[in-house]
Amino acid sequence: MPFARDLAAHGDRIALITPSGEVTYRALAERVAATAERLGPARRLVLLAGANRAESLVIHLAALAGGHPVLLVPGDSTATIDALTAAYDPDVIARPDDHGSWALHERHRTSAHTLHRDLALLLSTSGSTGSPKLVRLSHDNLQANAESIAGYLGIRQTDRAATTLPLHYCYGLSVVHSHLLRGAGLILTERSVADTAFWEEFRAARGTALAGVPYTFDLLDRVGFAHMRLPHLRYVTQAGGRLAPERVAAYAELGRKSGWELFVMYGQTEATARMAYLPPALAHERPESIGIPVPGGSFRLRPVDGIAGPDTGELVYSGPNVMLGYAETPADLALGRTLEELPTGDIARRAPDGLYEIVGRRSRFIKILGLRLDPHRIEAQLEGHGIRAACVGDDDALAVVTARPAGADTSAVRRLVSEGCGLPPHAIRVLPVSELPRLASGKTDYEAVRRLARGTQDPTPAPGDDLCALYSEILDRTDVTEDSSFVSLGGDSLSYVEMSLRLEQILGVLPADWHTTPIGRLRTPAAQCTPSAVPRRGLRRSLETGIALRAVGIVLVVGSHIPVFLVQGGAHVLLGVAGYNFARFHLSVGERGERLRRMGRSIARIAVPSMVWIAFALLLTREYDLANVVLANSLFEQDNSDPEWRYWFVEALVHFLAGLAVLLSIPWLHRTERRHPFGFALALVALGLVGRYDPWGLAHVRFHLSPTVVFFLFALGWAAARARTPVQRLLLTAVALVTVPGLFPGEQTLRTSVVLGGLLLLLWVPALPSIDPVNRLAGVLAGSSLYIYLTHFHVYPHLRDHSPVAALLVSLICGVAYGAMATRLTSRLLSSLQALTRQSALRTSLTPDAARGG
């Protein structure tokens, strides 16, 4: 394999950009050579658990360089690894050990198989299952395919492509091979494009290339890709299924305006990945076409019975990248080439301009009630009406599984299908689901669709199914998929506490970036979800510092007001935590409109229960006025009486969020924050420090409670969430140590120390050692901290003279109860409004006039 053997020829150019650092081609070549030496000179069958990590890639390249056939399987599917191990008895298994490092388990010193001299790679035709049917690819196949792709894409040494697709998927693998061939760089990442951290890595690495299947483009739409600034992006490639022509045209136009090119490609695993591509210059005017054969390949159209039309037939491909053939047993590994050309199974036509168009799928044609139907065409027609669907059928009925929320108007979908294909409505079954089932490659999982259509479920839950249900429950969402994350689903600080603690019970260990990690990447074996796997009382765990500070902070606030003790500063610590959470949850979304919507929801979730409670307290006690109710007390000149200032914390928080929403609604400020997240936060800290020292006399009579004065604490929390390096954290530490002292009137060393301690913990200690009962208690208190703050002023006065400790406990309990009631009512209200909106939108989009294009 020349491209695997000649890595050192690219010298000190950067080959890999990984989360742990960069790897040059020279260093990569040394690691590949060392691993090849471990594999030995005798050819052996190597089963490799694929992953977008340097260790996995090194083993893959070492096996290719040493002539060892590689059986590449999904690294996150133990069932697939076990099934193919049993079916093919590999000589070596390369997979992660218990510590996450790739280990070589040598099962046979010499191969147990007869391996054909041309055999280089074995890939599954499905990309996810443990089916023993594999595609046999040769060294020449891999080299020719890499050279062809590198040629028509014009890959340069300066290019850097992100691994947006799995290594075990032929499309993802072709990205790796073609870029290594040209000495280009690979941004090795396992993050989803729906993850904000992916785009931070991509920009930092000066990424030039993105690859995606149709589902990837769905995710790009969700994260606001059209508005992202990616100055080094040169080209975007699409394959792995049909992308609707209007979307091809839209992305081609977006690329033209943004300075990058869109390559729409067509291929199959049996052709080592690629057979055709649409030149970018034609993408806008011919978006329905798959284009022309790749360099070195050619097409012919084979007549098909029952399909008439000029220049129409089954598409047959020839070229040096056509596989050797299939393998279904270990004996097939000894076979050489068993076919010279590849019948694709697709029905295509050659247009007068020489471009090819796919018009149907031969193997998917079905006959229902005597009518011959093409499910692919039905899916395309529904997509034209904004409905994502997967169709399967038998002799009696067509099943249409639609990606629509529960409660969708199935009769409208049935009518559209009936009018489009001629089937009577009674022969069409419509099943709405929150999201179409997908393979790891992002393609529709038609086997899972068939199970849904039959009304049965896979006895082995897909990875993440249990977590999807948990996310749906806590966030009250019906559109949860394995590509969703807590942040992408709109999670905020109010739901974060419950989510993190429930997840830790399932996962055992919670990753630091779980809130931005797609569900599919969170490790969730089914055994972990059984009752026996629930942590035992007293089991050692960790507690996120932000949650601990919220719990301790609110106890300090209430306890000092009674007083049970006098340890002040808890509310000011909570302001820092609020800024920290704001950056984590609201700023992790890239698209400006979605950011603003989330900020609006967050403001409402704080302001509405606060205003309701203060209005109730006003009617009950007459201690407040209208300015308090509308959270505007600090905007008016007031005296120093205690009741007027009780809710300063809530006022400040709402004012901060509203002001920031206005700032980030300005496009250039939004773009600046996305490009320079820490620098932007540092600028806000600087702005906050101006208010901290109040040069213009804006602060009211209670200086340390004024929003303009305490904003710097919120900004410091924001910056703490954005700090990525020790130098950045040291800078913020210095700022805190200099500016917090002197904030409070008089000599309040303990209060100052509490605030400094909280801020420094946020900066330097992501989690604290804990045990399960403490986690549960902290979760309840932290999740209800806002409501405890609101209610405690009108609870403890009735009990403190009798028992200060009882006053503290009852205040906490009443706040938790109010929080549970407010959260439940708010969730029901929002769910009802969302359901009404969705149903109205669906009825509007599927009226008879709309269905006919009118």
Domains 2-357 and 469-534 fall in the same CATH topology = no
DSSP 584-606: HHTTT---HHHHHHHHHHHHHHH
- Domain 2-357: homologous superfamily in CATH: ANL, N-terminal domain (3.40.50.12780)
pLDDT-derived band at 476, boundaries 50, 70, 90:
low
pLDDT-derived band at 854, boundaries 50, 70, 90:
very low
Instruction: Compute CA 344 distance to the chain's CA centroid, rounded to the nearest angstrom.
Output: 33
More confident residue, 506 or 18: 18
**What is the percent of the chain where pLDDT is above 90?**
51
Q: Check residue 365 and give its pLDDT.
A: 67
- In sequence order, the 6+-apart residues with CB closer than 8 A to the CB of 841 are none
The DSSP call for residue 534 is S
What is the arrangement of strands in the sheet containing 235-238, beginning at the earlier edge strand?
Answer: 21-24, 14-18, 185-187, 160-162, 209-212, 235-238, 261-266, 276-278, 292-293
Q: What is the C-alpha separation between 653 and 815, in angstroms, rounded? A: 19
User: For 309-319, how does the pLDDT look when each residue is reduced to its tens digit (9 = 90+)?
Assistant: 678 889 999 99
User: For 503-555, how does the pLDDT look when each residue is reduced to its tens digit (9 = 90+)?
Assistant: 776 776 677 677 778 777 775 433 333 333 333 344 556 788 999 999 999 99
Rounded alpha-carbon distances, angstroms, from residue 247 to 46, 162, 242, 251, 611: 40, 22, 10, 6, 45
Question: What's domain 365-457's architecture?
Answer: 2-Layer Sandwich (3.30)
Strand, coil or helix: 304: coil
Return the half-sphere exposure (C-beta side, CA atoms, 13 A cut-off) of residue 478.
Answer: 15
pLDDT-derived band at 439, boundaries 50, 70, 90:
confident
Rounded mean pLDDT of 7-31?
A: 93
Q: What is the C-alpha separation between 212 and 203, in angstroms, rounded? A: 18
Predicted confidence (pLDDT) at residue 86 exceeds the cutoff of 80: yes
User: For 797-853, how does the pLDDT look when each residue is reduced to its tens digit (9 = 90+)?
Assistant: 999 999 999 999 999 999 999 988 887 776 666 555 554 554 454 344 333 333 333
β-pairing, 356-361 with 366-368?
unpaired
Domain ranges of the chain: 2-357, 365-457, 469-534, 545-770
User: For 777-798, how does the pLDDT look when each residue is reduced to its tens digit (9 = 90+)?
Assistant: 998 999 899 999 999 999 999 9
- Provide the mean pLDDT of the chain: 84
End-to-end Cα, the chain, rounded Å: 57
Q: Check residue 531 and give its pLDDT.
A: 33
Q: What is the C-alpha separation between 634 and 611, in angstroms, rounded? A: 15
**Ranges 394-398, 573-577, 734-738: which has the least confidence:** 394-398
pLDDT-derived band at 461, boundaries 50, 70, 90:
very low
Q: What is the C-alpha separation between 547 and 577, in angstroms, rounded? A: 9
Q: Check residue 346 and give its pLDDT.
A: 85
- Can you point out the beta strands (E) in 369-421? 371-373, 389-393, 398-403
C-beta of residue 486 within 8 angstroms of C-beta of residue 496: yes
**Ranges 221-225, 277-281, 467-471, 796-800: which has the least confidence:** 467-471
Predicted confidence (pLDDT) at residue 463 exceeds the cutoff of 60: no
Rounded mean pLDDT of 198-207?
A: 93
More confident residue, 219 or 374: 219
Q: What is the C-alpha separation between 278 and 238, in angstroms, rounded? A: 10
Q: Check residue 150 and give its pLDDT.
A: 95
Rounded alpha-carbon distances, angstroms, from residue 808 to 552, 574, 634, 754, 773: 13, 19, 28, 20, 20
User: For 266-307, how does the pLDDT look when each residue is reduced to its tens digit (9 = 90+)?
Assistant: 999 999 989 999 999 999 999 999 999 999 999 999 888 766
157: tokens are: 């040494």
- In sequence order, the 6+-apart residues with CB closer than 8 A to the CB of 432 are 402, 404, 405, 406, 407, 408, 410
Strand, coil or helix: 554: helix
| Amino acid letter, residue 819 | G
Q: Check residue 458 and give its pLDDT.
A: 38
531: tokens are: 């009752």
Q: Check residue 447 and give its pLDDT.
A: 76
Predicted confidence (pLDDT) at residue 162 exceeds the cutoff of 90: yes
Return the half-sphere exposure (C-beta side, CA atoms, 13 A cut-off) of residue 211.
Answer: 31
188-197, 251-260, 417-426, 482-491 — most confident range: 251-260
Fold (CATH) for 469-534: 1.10.1200
Rounded mean pLDDT of 461-474?
A: 62
Predicted confidence (pLDDT) at residue 460 exceeds the cutoff of 50: no
User: For 553-599, how does the pLDDT look when each residue is reduced to its tens digit (9 = 90+)?
Assistant: 999 999 999 999 999 999 999 999 999 988 887 776 556 777 788 78
Predicted confidence (pLDDT) at residue 128 exceeds the cutoff of 50: no
158: tokens are: 């300066």
As a three-state string, the secondary structure of 62-130 is HHHHHCCCEEEEECCCHHHHHHHHHHHCCCEEEEECCCCCEEEEECCCCCCCCCCCCEEEEEECCCCCC
Rounded mean pLDDT of 383-394?
A: 82
201: tokens are: 């890595």
Rounded mean pLDDT of 351-358?
A: 92
